[in-house]
Each structure stands twice: as C-alpha cells, then as structure tokens.
Amino acid sequence: MAERQEFFFGRTDRPDRRSSALLVGDVLALPAVQEGAPTVLVGGPALEAGVRWVHVSDSADVARLLDGGELLLTTGAAWPTGTAALRVLVAELAAIGVSGIVIELGPRMSRVPDAVIEACAAAGLALVALAVEVKFVAVTEAVHRALIEAQTAALRERQRLHDLFTALSLRGAPADLIVSEVARALDVPVHLENLAGEVVAVEALRVPVGQALRPPGPDGGDRVPVQARGVRWGWLIAADGPPHPAGRATVLELGATALAFGCLADGEGAWTVLAHRSLIEDLLGARFAREEDVEVRLRRLGLDLAGTTGTGLVFRTDEASDRLVARARAAGLAAVGSRRGADVVLLVATGVG
C-alpha cells in the first residue's frame, strides 16, 4: 500500500448540522467511497453530521490542524497503539468537531481497534472502515465536486426566493400570503405571531391547525423576528422539518423581511385586521376539521374559552362593521372582527359553564 502524505486543502464555510449541503451519509454513498467497500462501525444519527470538507492525514496530532466539520480520511499509520492514547486521539477529534473518521484498513491497521470504536460511539462520531484501498485524492475531488454543486443549487434557490419575496413586497401582498409562501418553500407548517404571542396568520399545509400551532420542543422549529428600523412587530415561526437547499433560516429571514416591509407600509394595525378576518374566513370556509382546531385558533388569538360556554354568530349587516364591533364590545360581547369587503361580523357571547 502506498504511503500516505499529509494534505491540507482550502476550506469552505462551516455548515451547521441541519443546513449542511453534504452529510456523512451522502459522502459514503459516493462511488469513490463505495469502491472501498465501506463498513459503518458507528452510524445512526452520527451519519447526519454535516461535512464541510475532507482532510487526509495519518498523524496522531491531526486535531490541531482542523477547524471542525471535516471528514478525516486516514490509514492510522502513525496512530498510537495503546488503548488510552487512542481514546485521547478520538476525544481530541470529537472536541474539535470533525464530522467523522474513515479508516482505510491495511498492513498497519488490519482492523479498527475496539478502543477507537468505543470512543467514537461514546462521542457520537461517525466511524467507517474501508476494506479496499482507494485513492484518497479521488474521494476528496468527489466531495469537492458535490459541495460545489450543492452550493450552486443553494445560490440559485436563494435568488429564486429573493425574487419571489421581493415581488410580493412590491405588490403589497398580505401577511397571510407571505406566510403561505414560506410554508410551501420549507414544506412545513409556518405561522406568524405578534409580540403578544397571538397568531396573526397560519399555513398548516397537510396537518390540522391545532397541531401546527402546538409549541415546538426544545430543539424543534425555527423562528426569526419580523423587524425593521429598530421596531419589532412579531415572529415568523416554522415547525421542525427537513433541511432546505438555501437554508431554513435564510427562507424565514426573506419572509420576515417581506412582512416587515408590509408593516412599514400598512401599519401595525393591519395585522389585527388580518388575524380577525382570516379566522372568520376559516370558520365560514369550514377549514377547521376538529373542535380542538377551533379552540386552539381562538386561544392563540387571545380568546381563551376554557371553562366557558359560548354562542357564536356570524351575520351580514348594512351597518359599518367597525361600528358594530365597537357596539358589541360595549354590550359585553367578544367581537372577533369583520371580514374585509363583506360586512361580516363574528360575535361570541361567553359565560361561565
């Protein structure tokens, strides 16, 4: 087997785990790697680590040359043989944030030591053994090519979305349309909240509205502020989902920027009108398939009906809807709002059940 030399290639931007263009599992699927008959010794979630670059080295002191996000290719020719030293080596690589380790087996290392497997498993670090010799330069070139292709696709998608949301802003698109476009781009439910936590607009896609509005777990979902000129109006929030070529955060930020332009043009009150109108339209259009959906939607609009009984009434009137809403509230009714252009008002009278 030919002796490996130390190589250090230029780097790309460091990706995070969820928005990486290339994952360890993607690299293992490349033909250049498959020629080495790879065996995954530590996989599972570790194969979802993002790969920023490939680094080739047999040095036991390679960690000092890395920045994180690299997939290490090695024969282990200069690695220590002692169990404790091997554990320290893996710990240093894990601490620096490498994506994984690919070891080519040969005369120097006919099998991966148990200490390395155990240490990688403990650190959640991907570990792969190659049974057949491969050209490491071919692997590096293949990964480089895949990264460039992914980055090019990401740039194109960012430009497409930038053009889309710019056009929506220039046309004065309402907030609910912008929220829907963000949801379709990410293929996950998305909703818009004001600073009080009230839902202004929601696009649930294929899930019930009540489920789409459930608070995400500690590590679930993404949110970006809707703000401009030092003023914040609320948050644009997306449920957890798959990575996006342009980056989930980028998509949300583009949508939030379009929403901020709308706030600057129409004023903060436009969100209140929209929230009331969209709720009425959802009720009239029977969008809510379950009682829970109606309850969640009302509660997220500031109307908590828990422990009460209520009667709702939707009707048309020749009287200006804003005056009717004011009169209804003065009479102790919860007037949710009116449907724009149709003089439709929803009144909710509540009492203790």
Tell me the CA distances in angstroms from 122 to 13, 21, 46, 337, one per residue in order.
27, 26, 11, 56
Give yes or no for a contact between 252 and 18, defined as CB atoms under 8 angstroms apart. no
Tell me the CA distances in angstroms from 328 to 16, 48, 165, 261, 271, one per residue in order.
52, 56, 38, 33, 21
Query: Which mean pLDDT values do the consecutive 10-residue runs of the chain (353 residues) have?
Result: 37 42 91 96 94 94 93 94 95 96 93 96 96 94 91 91 94 91 93 86 81 64 87 90 86 94 81 72 62 68 60 50 54 47 46 42
Residues 6+ apart with CB under 8 A from 89: 60, 63, 79, 80, 116
pTM value is 0.62
- CA separation for the pair 96, 98 (Å, rounded): 6
Residues 6+ apart with CB under 8 A from 149: none
How is 41-71 classified by DSSP, letter by letter?
EE-GGGGGSB--EEEE---TTGGGG--SSEE
Q: What is the pLDDT of residue 258?
A: 94
Tell me the CA distances in angstroms from 137 to 57, 63, 73, 141, 259, one per residue in order.
12, 20, 10, 6, 47
Cα Rg for the chain, rounded, in angstroms?
A: 28
Helix, strand, coil content of the chain in percent (nearest 5): 40, 20, 35
Helices (H), 287-341: 291-299, 321-330
| DSSP H/E element including 223 | strand 222-228
- Contacts of 180-186 with CB under 8 Å at 24 or more apart are 181/255, 182/236, 182/238, 182/251, 182/252, 182/254, 182/255, 183/238, 185/161, 185/244, 185/251, 186/238, 186/241, 186/244, 186/248, 186/251, 186/252
Q: What is the pLDDT of residue 51?
A: 93
Strands in 190-194's sheet, in edge-to-edge order, are: 199-203, 190-194, 231-238, 222-228
- CA separation for the pair 112, 62 (Å, rounded): 18
Nearest to 314 by CA among 301, 333, 332, 299: 333
- CA separation for the pair 238, 223 (Å, rounded): 6
- Residue 88: DSSP 8-state: H
- CA separation for the pair 200, 337 (Å, rounded): 13
Give yes or no for a contact between 277 and 176, defined as CB atoms under 8 angstroms apart. no
Which residue do the tokens 């929209």 mark? 274
Instruction: Give the dihedral of Cα atoms 160, 188, 69, 130; nearest 10 deg.
Output: -110
Tokens coding 259: 């929403």
Residue type, 110: S
Q: What is the pLDDT of residue 69?
A: 93
